[in-house]
Amino acid sequence: MVGIVIVSHSFRLAEGVAELAREMGGPDVRLETAGGLDLPEHPVGTDAVMVMNAIERAWSPDGVLVLMDLGSAVLSAEMAMEMLGGQREGVLLCEAPLVEGAVAAAVTAKLGRPLESVAAEARGGLGGKIAHLGVTTPDAPTGATDREGEAVTLQVTVRNPHGLHARPAARFIQTASGFEASVQVRDLTNARGPADAASLNAVAMLGVTEGHTIEIAARGPGAVDAIAALEALAQRDFDDVPDLPAPDASTEVAGSVSAAEGGALTGAPASPGVAFGPARRPRPVELKVPPRVATDPASEASALDVALGAARLDIEEQRAHVARVAGAPAAEIFDAHLLFLRDDALVGAARRRIQADHATAAESWRDAVEETAAAWDGLEDGYQRARATDLRSVGAQVLAHILGQQQPQLELHEPGILLAADLTPADTARFDTARVHGIVTVHGGPTSHAAVLARSLGIPAVVGVGAGLDRVEEGEPLAIDGSAGAVWIRPTEKLAGRLRDDQAAAAARSASARAGAALPARTVDGVPIEVAANIGRPEEAAAALERGADGVGLFRTEFLFMGRDQMPTEEEQTEAYARAADALDGRPLLLRTLDAGADKPIPYLHQASEENPFLGVRGIRLGLERPELLATQLRAILRAAEGRRLRVMFPMIATRSELRRARAILDEARADVGTRASVEVGVMIEVPAAALTAASLAQDADFFSVGTNDLTQYTLAVDRGNERVASLTDALHPGVLRLIEVTVSGAASLGRWVGVCGEIAADPTATPLLIGLGVSELSMSVPAIASVKEAVRATSLADSRALAGRALLCGDAPEVRALLEDG
């Protein structure tokens, strides 16, 4: 019996249609559904993997008929077919109406009819209704006719600021594909076209910009409906997303130039400093396609299909992630990326090469992508031209899958200011700092890990600027001020001059601070404060020492695990930790155990995707879930500790039992290694529960280090990577300060010391306050060490205690900042 699959955007609709069809066809009809998405917040949508699974469940040697509702249901079903590869034989995507088609198909399938007959019955499903009601054709929209296969046409003037660029073009194509009609579009203003509305590349290549009039022509039974839907879409300006509101930089600036001057784009200040240079978007490192003779076109074609399916899953995952973090509109650009994967200009061209030229899947795909991207490069509108980068990066993703290689890394080919939608910490760590003069991102908050890294690398950065950044053309001259969170496009000479003056003044200030950096930092009343460095690689330890660090207060060891295919071995880790410790010349090295997960994914750990990864398996939770991972690292640390001054701490501890379990693994590791080397054991205070139970945790810990980046995120309920809540991410909120105070008093009950290694430790204005709260160690990105040491030397313990007392009574972070400015 033929199997039937119902694909719908709505779970309930799919189930309802199936219920009705079973009612008519009988309970034993092979009927499966793929309805909605498995995302509680976004239940409406379709998912190619769900469709593929439903097809597999409905599988029958007689074939499977797939019925879909509209738009992306059709796209997802087509993608599912691609993923099925050779198994798609006997699966038919049918254009029949969903409800009537399903009922007719169920009845016919039950009779044991072949697939063609079941499909034919489904297609004729509307017959009964038409006969009963008589044919009624809806009024054609403006200027349209629908007689005997003639085209139904519509003319509209495009009002979008960048015309039919990738995102609105994607909406156009998705809408057009929801009907039984073939749709074409012409640009009447520049006399280009017609282009097939099924191809994003073909539509984008028309070069439709603001004010152009386009003519849309549809043919086929669904032409009238297609034109009506497209007219409604055009009236909504193709659902183009307005620029995301940039976070409020309140024109608060460190230098003399206000962010409001010269119409700057504003974002969150992420790494201080001024930078100038042409706008540069990173491109994927070019993957080498090995020369190989293709012997079997069918297997090359299926290798291409499998890679397209895998890339689609990657992009869908990225889409879901961005939608969660930055909202659905920001994620829509991924719709365009998904359309590339089924675009005839690319996929069709690659397939034709495989068949006609006997080329390999990799060669065919690479050439098809490059030819199409070169055509995008030739477009007149700079904004549209810049989308070639998107196409190349999607192309590289597919190519990596074909070649079975790691996903390609991004690289800046020429020096300048790097522009990106968002950056992972791994991307940021890999960039050649000689080429990256500054960084600007669409998304991200000031304590996201990419921002943290930019600070350690001393690269000025502005994050969370919003979609306005997409308007910046490749090569356009930019100036950025990382302290003000401002980006100027084509800055005037006058403005650039003033920024340079600010830059020179800041350099003079930091030179004078550096002069005293090597000396220990004591408050005016003689209290020593350890000023240490945050590092991510052993090589940074020497630079830290050179810039005056009293040791390393946070080695984010996860960076050793990134940018590679597999875990570093115990020996590799031992060598790295020993090397960092040796560079410190007897000063302490504090290693934080692996803190992977959330915004620091490590692909080869294959962590399950989570609805709320920041609240999921991250930090110590991963170490306890996979004890061998943690044990290996702890053995490496203990081996490196022989004859060296090492400290170790566990990230994201929320309960004492977690700490005890981690310590038990440490004890076992110690027994395995057979060492008596002494290592101080600490806890990162990043979760409010840990701060509030510090007195209890202190019984199993030698020290605490407060990770204010996460502590702020979890106390104020602000995702540190989400630019829309970036203005709330301030560790000086009295709620966070109170938790530091509670931690210090819990630690003091057993004589333990408390440090701070979150980003607030790098802010010299906060130094007196942290000292006043009882913190005795501050750890920060290397460039901040000198100025924080200066701030320590200007602080008196007695005054700072009084200051801390007043800050704890404030209502919010701006009030605390005002208090600090008043002294």
**What residues line the site for Mg ion (CB under 5 A)?**
686, 707, 710
Active-site residue 757, yes or no? yes
Q: Is 596 an interacting residue with respect to ligand PEP (CB under 6 A)?
A: no
Q: How far apart are CA 459 and CA 463, in angstroms?
A: 12
Q: Is 72 an interacting residue with respect to ligand PEP (CB under 6 A)?
A: no
Residue labelled with tokens 């966070």: 736
Instruction: Tell me the backbone φ, ψ of residue 813, rounded to 5 degrees.
Output: -65, -45
- Biggest CA-to-CA distance, the chain: 96
| Strand ranges across the sheet with 152-157 | 152-157, 213-219, 182-187, 192-196
Q: Minimal distance in Å, beta carbon 178 to ligand PEP? A: 44
Instruction: Count the neighbouring beta carbons within 10 Å of the beta carbon of residue 379.
Output: 20
CB nearer Mg ion, residue 186 or residue 600: 600
Q: Minimal distance in Å, beta carbon 710 to Mg ion? A: 4
From the list ligand PEP, Mg ion, none, partner contacted by residue 338 (C-beta under 5 to 8 A by kind)? none
SS3 110: helix
From the list Mg ion, ligand PEP, none, partner contacted by residue 389 (C-beta under 5 to 8 A by kind)? none
Q: Minimal distance in Å, beta carbon 655 to Mg ion? A: 17
By CB under 6 A, what part of segment 678-697 binds ligand PEP? 686
- Identify the residue among 709, 727, 729, 795 touching ligand PEP (CB under 6 A): 709
Q: Which among 165, 401, 443, 757 is annotated as catalytic?
A: 757
From the list ligand PEP, Mg ion, none, partner contacted by residue 708 (C-beta under 5 to 8 A by kind)? ligand PEP
Q: Is 708 an interacting residue with respect to ligand PEP (CB under 6 A)?
A: yes
- Identify the residue among 193, 309, 707, 755 touching ligand PEP (CB under 6 A): 707
Q: Is 113 an interacting residue with respect to ligand PEP (CB under 6 A)?
A: no
CB nearer ligand PEP, residue 171 or residue 455: 455
From the list ligand PEP, Mg ion, none, partner contacted by residue 335 (C-beta under 5 to 8 A by kind)? none
CB nearer Mg ion, residue 72 or residue 713: 713
Q: How far apart are CA 647 and CA 104, in angstroms?
A: 71
Q: What is the DSSP letter of 760?
A: G
| Interior/surface letters 45-65, b for 16+ CB within 10 angstroms, e for the rest | bbbbbbbbebbbebbeebbbb
Q: What is the DSSP letter of 145?
A: -
Q: How far apart are CA 788 and CA 779, in angstroms?
A: 10
Residue in the shown chain whose Cβ atom is closest to ligand PEP? 707
Q: Are 315 and 47 in contact (CB under 8 A)?
A: no
Q: Is 763 an interacting residue with respect to ligand PEP (CB under 6 A)?
A: no
Instruction: Count the neighbouring beta carbons within 10 Å of the beta carbon of residue 614.
Output: 17
CB nearer ligand PEP, residue 757 or residue 804: 757
CA nearest to 30, candidates 48, 52, 56, 7:
56
Q: Are 212 and 189 in contact (CB under 8 A)?
A: yes
Q: Minimal distance in Å, beta carbon 706 to ligand PEP? A: 7
Q: At what angle do helices 333-340 and 388-403 cross, to 10 degrees?
A: 50
Q: Are 14 and 8 in contact (CB under 8 A)?
A: yes
SS3 705: strand
From the list Mg ion, ligand PEP, none, partner contacted by residue 556 (C-beta under 5 to 8 A by kind)? ligand PEP
Pairing between strand 31-35 and 461-463?
A: unpaired
SS3 29: coil
CB nearer ligand PEP, residue 8 or residue 708: 708
By CB under 6 A, what part of segment 122-151 binds ligand PEP? none
**In angstroms, what CA-CA distances link 247 with 252, 442, 443, 465, 722?**
12, 11, 10, 7, 10
- Identify the residue among 363, 710, 723, 777 touching ligand PEP (CB under 6 A): 710
Q: Which two tokens stand for residue 135?
A: 């044919």
For residue 119, give every residue at least 6 positions away whose Cβ sits within 8 Å of its Cβ, in sequence order, or none.
Answer: 65, 92, 94, 96, 105
- Identify the residue among 452, 562, 697, 740 touching ligand PEP (CB under 6 A): 452
CB nearer Mg ion, residue 466 or residue 707: 707
Q: Minimal distance in Å, beta carbon 590 to ligand PEP? A: 11
Among the listed ranges 188-196, 246-254, 372-380, 707-715, the one in contact with ligand PEP (CB under 6 A) is 707-715
From the list ligand PEP, Mg ion, none, partner contacted by residue 682 (C-beta under 5 to 8 A by kind)? none
Q: Minimal distance in Å, beta carbon 598 to ligand PEP? A: 8
**In angstroms, what CA-CA distances link 204 with 160, 207, 240, 340, 394?**
14, 6, 15, 11, 16
Q: Are 449 and 266 in contact (CB under 8 A)?
A: no
From the list ligand PEP, Mg ion, none, partner contacted by residue 424 (C-beta under 5 to 8 A by kind)? none
Q: Minimal distance in Å, beta carbon 757 to ligand PEP? A: 5
Q: Minimal distance in Å, beta carbon 8 to ligand PEP? A: 41
Among the listed ranges 36-44, 87-95, 461-469, 705-713, the one in contact with ligand PEP (CB under 6 A) is 705-713
- Identify the residue among 758, 764, 768, 774 touching ligand PEP (CB under 6 A): 758
Q: Is 719 an interacting residue with respect to ligand PEP (CB under 6 A)?
A: no
CB nearer Mg ion, residue 115 or residue 649: 649
**In angstroms, what CA-CA distances link 32 with 5, 19, 649?**
5, 10, 51
Q: Is 390 an interacting residue with respect to ligand PEP (CB under 6 A)?
A: no
Q: Minimal distance in Å, beta carbon 588 to ligand PEP? A: 17
Q: What is the DSSP letter of 285?
A: P
Q: Minimal distance in Å, beta carbon 558 to ligand PEP? A: 8
| Interior/surface letters 551-573, b for 16+ CB within 10 angstroms, e for the rest | bbbbbbbbbbbbeeeebbebeeb
Total residues contacting ligand PEP by CB under 6 A comes to: 11
- Residue 468: in which H helix or E strand, if any? none
Q: Which among 449, 606, 733, 810 is annotated as catalytic?
A: 449
Among the listed ranges 86-94, 202-210, 266-274, 702-710, the one in contact with ligand PEP (CB under 6 A) is 702-710
Q: Minimal distance in Å, beta carbon 618 to Mg ion? A: 9
Q: Are 717 and 729 in contact (CB under 8 A)?
A: no
Active-site residue 212, yes or no? no
- Identify the residue among 82, 121, 240, 595 touching ligand PEP (CB under 6 A): 595
CB nearer Mg ion, residue 536 or residue 707: 707
Q: How far apart are CA 455 and CA 540, in angstroms?
A: 13
Q: Is 175 an interacting residue with respect to ligand PEP (CB under 6 A)?
A: no
Q: Is 556 an interacting residue with respect to ligand PEP (CB under 6 A)?
A: yes
Q: How far apart are CA 467 and CA 326, in angstroms?
A: 11
- Identify the residue among 197, 421, 453, 757 touching ligand PEP (CB under 6 A): 757
Rg (CA), the chain: 30
From the list ligand PEP, Mg ion, none, partner contacted by residue 590 (C-beta under 5 to 8 A by kind)? none
Q: How far apart are CA 353 and CA 368, in angstroms?
A: 9
From the list Mg ion, ligand PEP, none, partner contacted by residue 452 (C-beta under 5 to 8 A by kind)? ligand PEP
- Residue 721: in which H helix or E strand, if any? none
Q: Minimal distance in Å, beta carbon 778 to ligand PEP? A: 12
Q: Dihedral of CA 335/340/344/345: which sign?
A: positive
Q: Which amino acid is at 799?
A: D
Active site positions, annotated: 449, 757
What does the binding site for ligand PEP look like in residue numbers (CB under 6 A)? 452, 554, 556, 595, 686, 707-710, 757-758
